[in-house]
Structure 1
Amino acid sequence: MKLFASPSMLRRNGILGMNERNIGLIGKFNPRRNFPLVDDKLKTKQAAQEQGIHTPELYGVVEYQYEVRDLVRRLEPLDGFVIKPTQGSGGKGILVITGRDGPNYVKSSGAVVDESYVRRHVSNVLAGLHSLGGRNDKAMVEALIDFDPYLANYSFEGVPDIRVIVLKGVPVMAMMRCATHASDGKANLHQGAVGVGLDIATGSAVSAVQHGSLCDHHPDTGASFEALQIPLWDDILHLASRCVEMTGMDYIGADIVLDRQFGATLLELNARPGLSIQVANQAGLRHRLVTANRIAESTDDLAEKVALAQQAFAVKR
């Protein structure tokens, strides 16, 4: 079923639009001076580590084009790794290598690429091909996420991540982004990943959407989204809540994965979180944000903010 609605229906349901998000939320709550901390994944990682928040292990950083020549030697001890631009957005420029095939590398999709492919990818990252504003960038080499096996059936050729929208430490809305073959193993809705709306109270699935259409099952694995219940849900919400204090920004999207060993793990933050989370949840952000602001004004305790959000935004079934 394709999803359509009239402007009046969107307003009644509290659907937040792009202009309102940009002016009323990002412009109001996120100081420009703090954007570099969120836009640069390396700076985010360093800040998170200072706060005791777990992030994927950093193997190294490539800063200059001349370093690309030596890249294969640096990668030699690693069977699997992730290369990403430090200032990338929307999942662009992320290369996931899950294994080796002789001198070659195996991508998460199963495709085999050679050394020149990896070098060329990193060179493009440094040139800013995948980065915000096309600026020259750095390439981070990180450890693969050994994600919670419970979620294995809900993602294909990639790691499922959980986006939590937070206002002033109050979790407002959440979804899991499930990689598919169509999305090339990336948890990117615009590339064909499935967005699964999640009940803030329990972490259970509310609805699921791919390419703007409702779906009941993962298109590649056949797993039913109706049965989905995210483990360690309270840990995820508390981690997302802490990221507001860490960044000095009051309106953010926190992208979190569940690691088999370390539990809730911060992947990255977004100072301009997208609005497709409303489609995944079949609910609008506007009314929830009003309630979240009221909760934030009532207490400074993050644990209490999370508990009150779970009460306020519980999905009635």
Structure 2
Amino acid sequence: MISLFKKFEEEGVLGINRRIGEYILPYNPREYYPLVDDKWKTAELARQFNVPMPYHYGVVDTFGGIRKTRELIQDRPGFVVKPANGGMGNGILVIASESEATNGLIRYHKVDERTLTEKELNHHISGILSGLYSLDGNSDTCILQERLECHSFFQEISFRGIPDIRVIVFLGYPVMAMLRLPTKESGGRANLHQGALGVGVDLRSGELTHSVCNDKIVHFHPDTKQTLSGRVLPHWETILEMASRCYDMSGLGYLGVDIVLDETRGPLLLEMNARPGLGIQIANRMGLLDRLRIVEKIKNSADGPKTRVHRMFQEL
């Protein structure tokens, strides 16, 4: 077992304990966690820094306020329901459309083609308020958010839902990235824990490289049957600059930044994560440590996002 750990270290693999002890605890001041854990606070912060995000239609923060849900989402072309303090995609509902049944009741159509009654939707929101999906188990707030229009780049390589791009940022420098593609198993959500596909991304070019699903290497999307390697993500440099700016915005030295591509609006910040997972190493078939050490040698986070991105390109 000791030799196995040594082999991982030699290959630059960052483990959980080292991630916490050498990067999260020293570089992420605890007082800044609420800025990224609470998605409503993240949205307010992004507005101050002119970082584009999906539009928020409103929040439901009391049980009595649930009755106003219909008013907040009426005539919207789809919407997303999510807990403000949720994690790993838990509690998120993506509604594609609504229809009126013959009895006059509203039915909401999810991206996985299942439907919810208005009573079921309100019950789900009640669960969010109760803290059923919150990171700390405390009572929560429900956010009603714009449903994005998936960028045409993903049309043939993703199964419903909206893919996102996870970028690990250290002291303002993007160090590794992966694309997360929804699958049938994940219910149209781009979450690896629920069965989404993780695809490594070449940091300099934005070219897709290796793919993994449920911690197993795959060579094509399990539902679309399309190969992924060799395709180049659009708006790549803009995506990295946006991720880099999140360091200045959040005050967190080590973070994960999740960005989505909307067909009309381009790259949008979805959320930030103060404790990003390590599956990105599997998708890229390389460890994080070497990239983190590059940034530690640079030791200059005072430059702007564009300069930091290009400096990282030079170091790779």
Out of 267, 284, 298, the position equivalent to 1:281 is 284
Out of 191, 195, 198, the position equivalent to 1:192 is 195
Out of 98, 105, 115, the position equivalent to 1:100 is 98
Structure 1: gaps of 5 or more residues = none
1:120 partnered with 2:123: yes
Moved over 4 A (4+): none
1:265 partnered with 2:264: no
Of 299-308 and 216-225, more deviation after overlay is shown by 299-308
Alpha-carbon spacing, 1:70–1:156, altered in 2? closer, same or farther (3 Å): same
| TM-score between the two structures when normalised by the length of structure 1 | 0.94
Preserved CA contact (<8 Å) 1:206 1:281: yes
**Identical-residue share of aligned pairs (%):** 40
Match of 1:160 in 2: 163
Match of 2:141 in 1: 138
Deviation at 1:269, TM superposition (A): 0.3
Deviation at 1:97, TM superposition (A): 0.0
Of 66-75 and 26-35, more deviation after overlay is shown by 66-75
Match of 2:46 in 1: 48
Match of 2:103 in 1: none
Query: What letter corresponds to residue 11 of structure 2 in structure 1?
Result: N
Deviation at 1:11, TM superposition (A): 1.2
Deviation at 1:310, TM superposition (A): 2.1
Structure 2: gaps of 5 or more residues = 101-105
Report the secondary structure of 2:22's partner residue: helix
Match of 2:69 in 1: 71
Preserved CA contact (<8 Å) 1:106 1:113: yes
Deviations 1:53-97 (CA, angstroms, capped at 9, x unpaired) = 100011010000111133234322223000101100111110000
Match of 1:82 in 2: 80
1:21 partnered with 2:19: yes
Report the secondary structure of 2:306's partner residue: helix
Return the alpha-carbon distance in structure 2 between the equivalents of residues 298 and 126 of structure 1. Answer: 39
Match of 1:129 in 2: 132
Return the alpha-carbon distance in structure 1 between the equivalents of residues 306 and 297 of structure 2. Answer: 15
Query: What letter corresponds to residue 72 of structure 2 in structure 1?
Result: R
| TM-score between the two structures when normalised by the length of structure 2 | 0.95
Alignment of 1:172-183 (within 5 A): 172-183=175-186
Deviation at 1:233, TM superposition (A): 0.2
Return the alpha-carbon distance in structure 2 between the equivalents of residues 44 and 75 of structure 1. Answer: 21
Preserved CA contact (<8 Å) 1:154 1:160: no
Return the alpha-carbon distance in structure 2 between the equivalents of residues 155 and 59 of structure 1. Answer: 26
Deviations 1:115-156 (CA, angstroms, capped at 9, x unpaired) = 111101100000000001111000000111112111122221
Return the alpha-carbon distance in structure 1 between the equivalents of residues 233 and 150 of structure 2. Answer: 12
Return the alpha-carbon distance in structure 1 between the equivalents of residues 315 and 198 of structure 2. Answer: 22
Return the alpha-carbon distance in structure 2 between the equivalents of residues 263 and 247 of structure 1. Answer: 22
Return the alpha-carbon distance in structure 2 between the equivalents of residues 209 and 67 of structure 1. Answer: 42
Query: What letter corresponds to residue 126 of structure 1 in structure 2?
Result: L
Of 302-311 and 284-293, more deviation after overlay is shown by 302-311
Deviation at 1:298, TM superposition (A): 7.8
Return the alpha-carbon distance in structure 2 between the equivalents of residues 114 and 186 of structure 1. Answer: 21
Alignment of 1:199-214 (within 5 A): 199-214=202-217
Return the alpha-carbon distance in structure 1 between the equivalents of residues 207 and 99 of structure 2. Answer: 39
Alpha-carbon spacing, 1:55–1:308, altered in 2? closer, same or farther (3 Å): same
Return the alpha-carbon distance in structure 2 between the equivalents of residues 194 and 298 of structure 1. Answer: 32
- The aligned length equals 309
Return the alpha-carbon distance in structure 2 between the equivalents of residues 284 and 309 of structure 1. Answer: 16
Return the alpha-carbon distance in structure 2 between the equivalents of residues 298 and 266 of structure 1. Answer: 21
